[in-house]
Amino acid sequence: MLNNLKLRHLFALLMVLIVASATAIVAVAMTQMQAVVAQLQTASVSKGVLGAAQSSYTTTLVVGGIALAVLVVFSVAAFLLVNGRILKPLHFLATHFESIAKGDLTQRITRKSNNEIGQVFGSLQHMQDSLIKTFSHIRVSAAQLHAGNEGIAEGNSSLTARIEEQAAALQQTATSMEQLSSTVRQNADNAHQANQLAVTASNVAQRGGQAVGEVVSTMQGISASSSKIADIVGVIDSIAFQTNILALNAAVEAARAGEQGRGFAVVASEVRALAQRSAQAAREITGLIDDSVGKVNEGSGQVERAGATMQEIVDSVKRVTDIMGEISAATIEQSSGIDQVNLAISSMDSSTTYNAERVDETARSAIEMSKQSQALYEALNAYQLPESQIIDIEAQVKSQRAQTQKKAPLPHSTQSLTAKRALPPKAINSAKPAELSSVKKSHADIPGMNASSGTGKDAKLLRPDLSGSKKTASAEDDWVEF
């Protein structure tokens, strides 16, 4: 029960008990003195002794009353002194502690004395100043933390969206690379077949060249045979001419013989007719042979020109075969490179997916931290600070956000890139030439390719560069390494 009483009540009760004890002691003493006086009155004592006893009783009564009065006055003065110097300051201390416990730090504490109570007030004043400074800085830090968490959450949300766009773009790129890989494989197969056909055509052209050479040899043999036949026909013509002369001589001799040489003359005339027909046939054969020799010579020239043309065709087919072999090798190398690019894109896709998951978790953590910092800021707002110690938190938060945006600006939007990658093939084929300039430029950078090459008369056959030299990557390629 005494633990529930206030200190002033305990002190007042103590004073009352002291006064009551003193009063009781005086009353007991007075009672004993009265008993002694009564005994003296009943006893046979002298009047002097009785008067002295009564005088002593009166003196004791007066002294006891005075002592009791002094004790009462001292008790009241001590109570007032303790109440003014100890109890009231303790009450003020309790009031200040209650205000601080409620979060009110606006009530200033003043030190009025240098005693122990004053030292307690000084310590409480230092504690209040420290709490004001601490809570002021904590409020600013909590507000900045909340703003920073909100910025992190917004940045993570934006980063998540960009990573999702990048993942979608990578998937589209992977699909396009798969289509390109299948196209390159098909081109490799076609190039291999074309190479085989070119080899076959080269073999056929070589056989054709050999056949043309044989025809040239045959035509030369025919020309030589025709020359021999012409010589033989010349001999036959000479024989016919001589036979004709002999027939004329026989006719002359038959005419000289008269009647006996008439039969011989008939035979001579027939021989002459045969000789003339032989000469005529020899002349016709000579004309035919000359015509044949001329045509054979002309055919030999044509066959020689055809042989030269066939040799050029053989050489061209051989060059085409070499080019097709190089194209086939380059296509196989391109197919291998595209497979490696597909593996890299697959790795990038998985890394992007993993990064998206981590960024998502970071965003959730940032949101949770933002909620916790908001709760901390609201809890700190329950403490009332003096106006001189209030800091413009909103200005500091805005300044911090501005500094954060300057240090880490958001990258440009990738919507245009995503829209371009999402175009269907027809839309890409129907794009404007200005929009396809970058594609032409990339084609121009490929070894063995020329963007200005066409299909007109001046078009040249381009051969891939298989020397192994590769151009270095452009500095403008913004690839992110995972």
Claim to verify: residue 72 and residue 149 sit in the same structural domain: no
DSSP state of 86: I
Question: Rounded distance, CA 110 to CA 76, Å?
Answer: 28
Claim to verify: residue 287 and residue 397 sit in the same structural domain: yes
Please name every residue paired with 384 in a beta bridge, in sequence order, or none if there are none. Answer: 104
Kindly tell me if the per-residue pLDDT of 474 is higher than 70.
no
Q: What percent of the chain has pLDDT over 90?
A: 0
Summary count for the chain: helices (H), strands (E): 9, 0
In a domain? residue 475: no
Q: Please state, as a whole number, how many other Cβ atoms lie within 10 Å of the Cβ of residue 255.
A: 13
In a domain? residue 345: yes
Using CA atoms, how far residue 263 sits from 151, 255, 257, in Å, is 145, 10, 11
Question: Rounded distance, CA 26 to CA 57, Å?
Answer: 12
Claim to verify: residue 77 and residue 194 sit in the same structural domain: no
In a domain? residue 22: yes
Claim to verify: residue 196 and residue 47 sit in the same structural domain: no
In a domain? residue 185: yes
Structure tokens at 477: 């390629």
In a domain? residue 400: yes
Query: Structure pTM?
Result: 0.44
In a domain? residue 308: yes
Claim to verify: residue 164 and residue 71 sit in the same structural domain: no
Claim to verify: residue 255 and residue 391 sit in the same structural domain: yes
Claim to verify: residue 27 and residue 134 sit in the same structural domain: no
> Which residues touch 89 (CB under 8 Å, ≥6 apart)?
112, 117, 120, 121
In a domain? residue 66: yes
- The confidence score (pLDDT) of residue 426 equals 39
Claim to verify: residue 79 and residue 151 sit in the same structural domain: no
- The confidence score (pLDDT) of residue 217 equals 81
Phi, psi of 466 (to 5 degrees): -110, 20
pLDDT digits 0-9 by tens, 295-340: 878 887 887 888 788 788 888 888 888 888 888 888 888 888 888 8
Q: Please state, as a whole number, how many other Cβ atoms lie within 10 Å of the Cβ of residue 204.
A: 13
pLDDT digits 0-9 by tens, 11-51: 677 777 777 777 777 777 677 667 766 766 666 555 666 67
Please name every residue paired with 104 in a beta bridge, in sequence order, or none if there are none. Answer: 384
Claim to verify: residue 21 and residue 82 sit in the same structural domain: yes
Task: Look at residues 409, 431, 453 and tell me which one is the last residue of a structural domain.
Answer: 409
For the chain, how many structural domains are there in total? 2
The domain that holds 405 is classified in CATH as 1.10.287.950
Claim to verify: residue 60 and residue 139 sit in the same structural domain: no
Task: Look at residues 409, 441, 472 and tell me which one is the last residue of a structural domain.
Answer: 409
Kindly tell me if the per-residue pLDDT of 261 is higher than 80.
no
Cα(first)–Cα(last) distance of the chain, in Å?
76
Claim to verify: residue 51 and residue 144 sit in the same structural domain: no
pLDDT digits 0-9 by tens, 357-394: 888 888 888 888 888 888 887 877 777 777 655 555 55
Claim to verify: residue 45 and residue 132 sit in the same structural domain: no
Kindly tell me if the per-residue pLDDT of 433 is higher than 50.
no
Are 180 and 379 spatial neighbours (Cβ–Cβ below 8 Å)? no
Using CA atoms, how far residue 50 sits from 16, 44, 341, 371, in Å, is 36, 10, 137, 96
Question: Which amino acid, 248?
Answer: L
Question: Rounded distance, CA 277 to CA 285, Å?
Answer: 12
In a domain? residue 109: no
Question: Rounded distance, CA 414 to CA 416, Å?
Answer: 6
Task: Look at residues 38, 61, 90 and tell me which one is the last residue of a structural domain.
Answer: 90
> Domain of 81?
2-90
Compute the average pLDDT of residues 420-426: 39
Helices (H), 382-436: 393-407, 415-421, 425-429
